[in-house]
């Protein structure tokens, strides 16, 4: 606008009534404020992501450390703690009824808030999720702990978002908290970012939250590591080098190795069936036992007695807790074998861990499911390794990622967590097997996700 145009506009403005001038000034201020909020939204979200990442990283490191210590106490004294599983379960239900009403749904509440079905996410869910998960771990329930970690992150960040004036702040900060919680407990920031972006809505990435989620994830990972919380990792490349096995999908001439690709695809189908079957049976089992025992305390007490008996019968707690003992054996001394199995891993390990995890969560015990899925996938991979002529460690690593992909109905997070835990040299193989498993899971998920209907 030149000077003459500005002068004409000024003259026109002066002709308006005082009321009209005041209204126009209000509109102009509102537009300026709206633009300023848009400009400052992303930098503010990123800065908050870093701060929240540090806080959530510290909280999850503390939470994970206590969980490890309680698991170690249980493993050293299984006959003292596992028989009391029902008592621990009753305590969990009583505590939620007394202090944490409306927060006992765990990750289901996170999804309800993330999908705008609810707007309330009480902060009391943080201590309730943590303590309940500790009780489950102490008394031997076959469950994970990432659910509590992600609730810690998402509840804290969501409640902070209510103080922010930015559009869509609640959703962005919820995703940011999810990423920080996942990264703090697994110390896999790239996978955590991808998981938070893709888990709420199938077929869609929440790219508006990419920068704050990544900032929070990397910060939480760093802080968690600095505080001494240990990351599970395996040098898969060294194991494969020792076996003389090449996991490259390319031949020496640079062409695709068709035979190897077929093997990976077939393994992906099997992993997809296992992961999808787990998600489907978990949902059916939870509904069945909820109808069979409508009273929560009776359900968790009665089923707790049965689960503790099974845990003791099956090798005095071999399938109790997270399943990290199975993971350690899966990638142990004999992991380079091309034929055979890993030391200590039996062909029935995956199915027993599969069944006991479903029973534990169906009874109402609080905890995650991702680490047990890792154990199920790794031991199932070893079970089918000789069928495909794969080193047991490689097959276990493929199952570790692919069963998680199929059960959670996510794709990029499992591929990235495989790279962050096992090394990125085998990433093309992980990509193929996770993609096939993701496609072959029958549309099932352990989470209450929303799906996008795509018209073709």
- Asked if the model's pLDDT at residue 447 lies above 70, the reply is yes
pLDDT of residue 40: 83
pLDDT of residue 381: 97
DSSP code of 62?
H
pTM of the model: 0.91
Query: How does residue 136 score in pLDDT terms, banded at 50, 70 and 90?
Result: very high
Integer Cα distance of 425 and 428 in angstroms: 8
- Asked if the model's pLDDT at residue 454 lies above 80, the reply is no
Query: How does residue 117 score in pLDDT terms, banded at 50, 70 and 90?
Result: confident
Cβ contact 350:112 at 8 Å: no
112-121, 266-275, 350-359: segment of lowest average pLDDT: 112-121
pLDDT of residue 107: 86
Integer Cα distance of 112 and 115 in angstroms: 5
- Asked if the model's pLDDT at residue 104 lies above 50, the reply is yes
- Complete DSSP assignment for 301-351: HHHHHHHHHHHHHTTTTTT-TT-HHHHHHHTSTTTT-SSS--TT--TTHHH
b/e code 66-76 from CB counts within 10 Å (16+ = b): bbbebbeebbe
pLDDT of residue 252: 78
Integer Cα distance of 217 and 415 in angstroms: 17
Mean pLDDT of 361-375: 96
Integer Cα distance of 311 and 326 in angstroms: 14
Comparison of pLDDT for 171 and 453, the residue scoring more: 171
Question: What does residue 106 show for φ and ψ, rounded to 5 degrees?
Answer: 65, -130
Cβ contact 416:190 at 8 Å: yes
Integer Cα distance of 332 and 384 in angstroms: 17
27: number of CA atoms within 13 Å, CB side?
Answer: 6
Residue with tokens 């959703």: 171
The share of the chain scoring above pLDDT 90, in percent, equals: 73
Please report the sign of the dihedral spanned by the C-alpha atoms of residue 182, residue 188, residue 191, residue 194: positive
Tokens of 352: 């027993």
- Asked if the model's pLDDT at residue 73 lies above 80, the reply is yes
Mean pLDDT of 385-413: 95
- Asked if the model's pLDDT at residue 451 lies above 90, the reply is no
How far is the CA of 253 from the CAs of 248, 249, 256, 404, in angstroms?
12, 11, 9, 33
pLDDT of residue 254: 82
pLDDT of residue 403: 98
Integer Cα distance of 217 and 361 in angstroms: 27
Mean pLDDT of 97-106: 82
Tell me, letter by letter, the H, E, C secondary structure of 394-455: HHHHHHHHHHHHHHHCCCHHHHHHHHHHHCHHHHHHHHHHHHHHHHCCCCCCCCCCEECCCC
Cβ contact 326:372 at 8 Å: no
Beta-bridge partner residues of 196: none
Q: Which among 377, 414, 412 has a CA at the least distance from the CA of 396? A: 377
**Model pLDDT for residues 313-358, shown as the tens digit of each residue:** 999 999 999 999 999 999 986 655 655 566 689 999 999 999 999 9
- Asked if the model's pLDDT at residue 33 lies above 60, the reply is no
In terms of phi and psi (left: phi > 0; alpha: psi -120 to 50; beta: otherwise), the region of 344 is: left
3-12, 45-54, 106-115, 121-130: segment of lowest average pLDDT: 3-12
113-127, 289-303, 352-366: segment of lowest average pLDDT: 113-127
Query: How does residue 394 score in pLDDT terms, banded at 50, 70 and 90?
Result: very high
- Asked if the model's pLDDT at residue 36 lies above 70, the reply is no
Integer Cα distance of 63 and 185 in angstroms: 9
Integer Cα distance of 277 and 56 in angstroms: 33
DSSP code of 143?
-
- Show the beta-strand stretches assigned E in 78-211: 201-202
Tally of residues, the chain? 456
Residue with tokens 């018209």: 455
DSSP code of 230?
P
- Calculate the average pLDDT of the chain: 90
């Amino acid at each position: 606008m030149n000077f003459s145009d500005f002068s004409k506009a000024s003259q026109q403005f002066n002709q308006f009534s005082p009321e009209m001038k005041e209204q126009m000034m209000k509109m102009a201020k509102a537009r300026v404020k709206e633009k300023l909020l848009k400009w400052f939204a992303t930098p503010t979200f990123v800065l908050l992501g870093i701060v929240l990442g540090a806080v959530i990283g510290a909280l999850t490191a503390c939470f994970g450390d206590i969980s490890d210590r309680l698991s170690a106490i249980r493993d050293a004294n299984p006959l003292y703690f596992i028989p009391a599983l029902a008592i621990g379960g009753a305590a969990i239900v009583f505590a939620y009824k007394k202090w944490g009403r409306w927060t006992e749904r765990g990750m289901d509440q996170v999804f309800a808030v993330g999908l705008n079905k609810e707007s309330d996410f009480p902060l009391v869910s943080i201590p309730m999720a943590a303590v309940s998960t500790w009780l489950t771990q102490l008394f031997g329930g076959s469950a994970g702990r990432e659910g509590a970690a992600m609730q810690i992150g998402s509840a804290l960040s969501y409640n902070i978002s209510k103080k922010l004036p930015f559009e869509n702040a609640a959703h962005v900060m919820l995703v940011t908290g999810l990423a920080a919680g996942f990264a703090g407990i697994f110390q896999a920031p790239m996978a955590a970012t991808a998981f938070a972006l893709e888990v709420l809505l199938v077929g869609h990435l929440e790219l508006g939250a990419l920068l704050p989620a990544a900032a929070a994830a990397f910060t939480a990972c760093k802080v968690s590591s600095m505080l001494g919380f240990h990351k599970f990792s395996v040098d898969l490349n060294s194991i494969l080098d020792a076996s003389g096995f090449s996991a490259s999908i390319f031949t020496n001439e640079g062409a695709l190795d068709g035979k190897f690709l077929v093997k990976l695809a077939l393994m992906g189908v099997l992993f997809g069936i296992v992961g999808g079957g787990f998600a489907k049976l978990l949902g059916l089992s939870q509904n069945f036992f909820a109808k069979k025992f409508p009273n929560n305390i009776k359900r968790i007490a009665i089923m707790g007695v049965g689960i503790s008996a099974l845990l003791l019968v099956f090798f005095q707690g071999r399938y109790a807790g997270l399943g990290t003992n199975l993971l350690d054996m899966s990638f142990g001394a004999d992991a380079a074998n091309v034929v055979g199995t890993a030391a200590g891993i039996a062909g029935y390990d995956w199915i027993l861990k599969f069944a006991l995890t479903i029973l534990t969560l169906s009874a109402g015990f609080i905890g995650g499911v991702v680490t047990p899925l890792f154990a199920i996938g790794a031991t199932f991979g070893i079970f089918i390794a000789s069928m495909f002529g794969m080193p047991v460690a490689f097959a276990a690593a493929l199952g570790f990622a692919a069963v998680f992909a199929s059960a959670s109905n996510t794709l990029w997070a499992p591929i990235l967590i495989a790279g962050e835990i096992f090394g990125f040299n085998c990433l093309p193989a992980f990509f193929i097997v996770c993609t096939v498993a993701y496609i072959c899971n029958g549309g099932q998920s352990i989470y209450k996700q929303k799906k996008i209907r795509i018209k073709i």
